[in-house]
Amino acid sequence: MSTVLPAGTPAPDFTLHVTPDQQLSLKELRGQPVVLVFYPADWSPVCGDQVGLYNELLSEFRKFNAEVLGISVDGAWCHDAFAHDRKLHFPLLADFEPKGAVAKSYGAYRQGDGVCERALFVIDKDGIIRWSYVSPVAVNPGADGILDALEKLSK
């Protein structure tokens, strides 16, 4: 059922706005593990939602020298306001134009809803996906899968 790119696939490169006037390319992060967090939308009204949770856990991810990137189809200004409101300390990327193109390249786009799946990817320092997972869109998957995958990479 899931179309997300499986472990062993090279992670498709992309360049997306990380702030209204700056862009980030995945290949700039070669040399360290990267955690890609695709999620449906900013501003869900729950304390400890998935994005907020990973924000709290940044020190745990950084133990593995991993960079965390959030991606949704929201625009850069929306991300800007959301990141400020929730005091987020990791980049949110705008998969805004063409809409969902990066998510589609990862098999992580919900065509009917027009938002990203709640999909996680752990990419190694050489740009290969080593773990991927899709959570039901209503369930916050937590960080254990990510941390287990990062730990395997570091062995």
Q: Which residues bind another protein (CB under 8 A)?
A: 46-50, 52-53, 55-57, 60, 86-89, 139-145, 147-148
| 78 belongs to the catalytic site | no
- The least distance separating another protein from the CB of residue 58, rounded to whole angstroms, comes to 9
Q: Which is nearer to another protein, 2 or 3 (CB)?
A: 2
Tell which phi-psi region holds residue 60, choosing left (phi > 0), alpha (psi between -120 and 50) or beta: alpha
Q: Residue 35 is encoded by which pair of tokens?
A: 């955690």
Place of tokens 């967090």: 37
- The least distance separating another protein from the CB of residue 89, rounded to whole angstroms, comes to 8
Per the residue annotation, which of 1, 22, 46, 47 is the catalytic one?
47
Q: How far is CA 88 from CA 57, 82, 84, 113, in A?
A: 11, 8, 7, 26
Measured in degrees and rounded to the nearest 5, phi and psi for residue 60 equal -70, -40
- The least distance separating another protein from the CB of residue 150, rounded to whole angstroms, comes to 11
Q: Which is nearer to another protein, 36 or 146 (CB)?
A: 146
Q: Which is nearer to another protein, 60 or 78 (CB)?
A: 60
Q: How many CB atoms lie within 10 A of CB 78?
A: 17
Which positions are annotated as active-site residues?
A: 47
